[in-house]
Each structure stands twice: as C-alpha cells, then as structure tokens.
Structure 1
Amino acid sequence: MAVTTNLLAVRAKVAEALAKSPWKQQCTLVAVSKTKPLEDLQEAYEADQRHFGENYIQELVQKSPQLPSDIKWHYIGHVQSNKAKVLVRDVPNLYMVETVDSIKIANALNKASSEFRTEKLNVMVQVNTSGEEQKSGTDVDGSVELACHIVASCEHLNLTGLMTIGRYGDTTSECFDRLVACRKNVAEAIGKAETDLAASMGMSGDFELAISCGSTHVRVGSTIFGARDYAKKD
C-alpha cells in the first residue's frame, strides 16, 4: 500500500501547486518506474495511474507486455539512433518519447514509426537548460531548429512540446524559466500558440516549483516508489 499512499500524496501536492500557479495550466503526473518491480507499477495502476516513465529501453521492452495495455509509456532516457527501432517496434503502447535531442534521433524515430505504427508518435524536444555537459539535450538555440525539422520533415512524429531536467539541488527557477522562454520561441517558429506546447519539467525534488513556472508534465519517481536500486538495471 506504500505506493498508493505515496501516489495520493504526490497527487495532492500537484493539485495544490496547480491551484497556486499563475499559468492556470493542467499537469500530467508521469510516474517514473525505472528499476522498480512489476508489482509496484501494478499497484500504482490500480490507483488509477496511467502515465509511466522509463529510462532504459530494454527494461521498458521487458515490462510493457506484462502490464495492462492501456498504460501510456513515456520514454525519458537517452535514445541511441540504433535503438530507436527496438523502442518503437517492441513497445506497442509507447505514448511519447520525451528525449529527442538531435535531428539524427528524430529521423530514426520517424523511420521506425513509419514501419511499425499506424498513429504518429508523440515526441518532445529535450533541451539542456542547465548547460551541464553530463546531461543530454540540445542547447536552447538548437531547440528551434530541431522543432522545425520535426514539424517539417518527420511526418510520423507529433511534436507535443519541450522537456528539460533542472540542475540537481537548484532551488531557483532558472532552468524552468529558460525552458518556458524556449517554448515561446519554438511556438512562434512553428506557428502554434505557446500554451499548445507542453513543458515537461520537474521531478521528485522540484515538481512543485516547476508547476509554479508552468510545467504541464512532472516526472516523479522516488517520491512515489521509494529509492531506486540501480543494480537491477539491465
């Protein structure tokens, strides 16, 4: 029952943060379940959680057929172009890839989607707003070029928004504000309203701050499922 209790507590905090947010947005809670056993995910599912996030392709490929088919899987790990086919082919209920950070990756996902999906694959452009070298993501300037490429040249992808990971331990809104500004530039470049594009930002330690900055998707793992055992990673 711990997962259910934690999940309900996180939902309450999300609702409270949304009530205070000047953006008046809606926000999807993505339960990040990497390295967690199937029974924990099933418990969250039975508490009406449907959006789950995974970081490792092989783990997602193994988990997805053993869990309900109406789960909406978000892939939030780094994508290698040579693994795009496996990800798209072997996870039929893949809902979104939030970590597209290059034209090469976009093209690989587009090709795989053309071969193995009947519907467009939802994607987000990952932006490195902290400037940390160890983090994936295009830079702020490159995000507009990448978004325009997806819209113009990837007919089997649906650009839904932008994603970022804030600087670890940062209590300021700098990275989140940077993503929101980036979203505005992308929206202008592709002819959409700013609020028609999602902003996926905020994790266990900072999702309330992210919501106050306009986040529409928060990715919460350890606060729901407990600390991770990385020895279980594939």
Structure 2
Amino acid sequence: MAASGEGLELSHSESSEMISRIKLVLDKMASLSLEAGRPVPRLVAVSKTKPPEMIRVAHMEGGLLHFGENYAQELIEKANHPLLSDLDIRWHFVGHLQRNKTNQLLSNVPKLWMIETIDTPRLASSVDGALQRINPDKKLRVLVQVNTSGEESKHGCQPEDVPSLFEHMLSNCSSLNPIGLMTIGRPDHNYQMGPNPDFELMKRLRDVLIGRFDLKEVELSMGMSADYEHAIHEGSTNLRIGSTIFGKRT
C-alpha cells in the first residue's frame, strides 16, 4: 500500500502546523503524567497512509523517534524510502500481522523495534522462526494484543488466554522478548461514568503476568488519539497517536 501524497513536498505552513500539534501532544503528555505521578509514556506516531515527507519532518523537526504502521507492505516501503532509510527511526508494527507476511516484514525492515500485535502462539512461533533464520542475533520486543472489549471486529487474543501465550513465548520463542500488552479501547466509552473497563482489564492482566512470571514490569500499550489522555491516567506506557499528530487520514 503506497502512502497517499508520496512525493509531494510539505509546505512551510503544513510543517509548522504539524510541529505545533506534536508539541501540544508532548506538553499534554508531560503535564498529565506529572499529575498522575507516573513516567511519561512512549509516543508512537502512527503514520498510516501519511507520506514519507511528513514522517521525516516529524522526526527531524518534531523530535519523534517511534513511528507505527498498520500494514506490512506500507512499513516496508517507508522503512526503505530514501527520505527515511538513513534516519534513526524505531519502527513499530501496530496492525494485524498475517503469518505469510512475517518473512517479508522481518527481512526488509532492519530497524523494526517492536511488533505490538502478537495474538496467537502460531503467530509468535512464526515470527520467532523467521527471525532466527533472518537475524539470529536479534531479540525483538513484542506485545500481546488483547481483545479487551470482546468486539468481533477486533483482533487480539481473549483475556483468559494471555498468560498461556506469554508462557509460550517465554518458553519456546528465544528470539522474542515479550514485554507487555496492547489493546484498542472501545471508542464510545463515556468517561463521566468512570474509567474505561478495557484499560482496567489491562491493569489486572498486567498484575497477573507480574505475579505468575516474576516480572519486574509489564508495558501497557493503550491509548490513541481519542483516549490517550485517559490512558495516561490509567498507566499506559505506550501511546499510539495518529490523526492528532498527522491530521485526518485521506
């Protein structure tokens, strides 16, 4: 999937507006984290459908380091684009990963920093096996995607399957470093009624993993453009923000 608008230079006003949006998000993250008494989460700028020119400006002028993509082919194209391939960008894969795309993704994105969407033992083993063949010295950070809302349209393992999937990776996938959990919170939650139950469930699952596997910490990737402020209060360590930074997708 080619990025829309690829090959078009950004105008000065477009660049300035995006930098202003980035600064606004970073300032809000800092103030909310201070208020919650927690470290500032990692910001992953989800650049799905956005051109390499925007990513370069967000990195070079906005100071962003982590970028996320939903589709393997789009990530491969961007990671190898002349405008981006020489930059110190840490790529996150944040979409549903098909097992038949695993080799292609791992072979062509040497700066892949994290896969956030491992949801079955088969996928975990597929990624582990491909990585052992392609780059046996690399240990890749991965998150378990959890379908916390029970929506059929969403990917992710069932909450009750999280411990066994973690155990599978810790015991059988030597090239993977499972460091946490990821979810897409339900978009229609009314926060006046209380905390998001998806985020509450993630915290309970984190505590289960810490207790069962004697882990020092478990990352929580939760919070996107519409709910990242609430996610910070709920203890998110990794925010995936797209449209608030890059503008609406075409």
Would you say same fold, with TM above 0.5?
A: yes
SS in 2 for 1:88: helix
Deviation at 1:43, TM superposition (A): 0.7
Deviation at 1:202, TM superposition (A): 0.0
SS in 2 for 1:166: coil
Deviations 1:172-195 (A, max 9, x none): 4211011111111122222213xx
Answer whether contact 2:30 2:40 (CA < 8 A) is retained. no
The answer on 1:81 being equivalent to 2:96 is no
Q: Would you identify which runs of 4 or more consecutive aligned residues in structure 1 move more than 6 Å?
A: none
Aligned to 2:145: 126
Answer whether contact 1:98 1:126 (CA < 8 A) is retained. yes
**Counterpart residue type for residue 203 of structure 1:** M
Aligned to 1:186: 209
Deviation at 1:25, TM superposition (A): 3.0
Instruction: Identify the match of residue 116 of structure 1 among 134, 144, 166.
Output: 134
SS in 1 for 2:132: helix
**Percent of residue pairs bearing the same amino acid type:** 41
Higher relative contact order (CA 8 A, sep 6+): 1
After superposition, residues 76-225 of structure 1 pair within 5 angstroms as 76-117=94-135, 118-172=137-191, 173-193=196-216, 196-225=217-246
Return the index of the structure with the highest Cα Rg.
Answer: 2
**Counterpart residue type for residue 53 of structure 1:** G
SS in 1 for 2:114: strand
Answer whether contact 2:145 2:155 (CA < 8 A) is retained. yes
Aligned to 2:32: 17
After superposition, residues 21-60 of structure 1 pair within 5 angstroms as 21-22=36-37, 24-46=38-60, 47-60=62-75
Counterpart Cα distance in 1 of 2:19 and 2:55: 10
Counterpart Cα distance in 1 of 2:87 and 2:134: 17
**Counterpart residue type for residue 27 of structure 2:** A
TM-score normalised by L of structure 1: 0.94
Deviations 1:188-210 (A, max 9, x none): 222213xx211000000000100
SS in 2 for 1:159: strand
Answer whether contact 1:69 1:93 (CA < 8 A) is retained. no
- RMSD between superposed Cα atoms in Å: 1.0
**Counterpart residue type for residue 153 of structure 1:** N
Deviations 1:38-77 (A, max 9, x none): 1110110012111001001000000001213420000000
SS in 1 for 2:91: strand
TM-score normalised by L of structure 2: 0.88
Counterpart Cα distance in 2 of 1:192 and 1:27: 19
Answer whether contact 2:180 2:220 (CA < 8 A) is retained. yes
Answer whether contact 2:139 2:175 (CA < 8 A) is retained. yes
Deviation at 1:161, TM superposition (A): 0.6
For structure 1, the residue ranges without an aligned partner over 5 or more in a row are: 230-234
SS in 1 for 2:125: helix
SS in 1 for 2:116: strand
For structure 2, the residue ranges without an aligned partner over 5 or more in a row are: 1-15
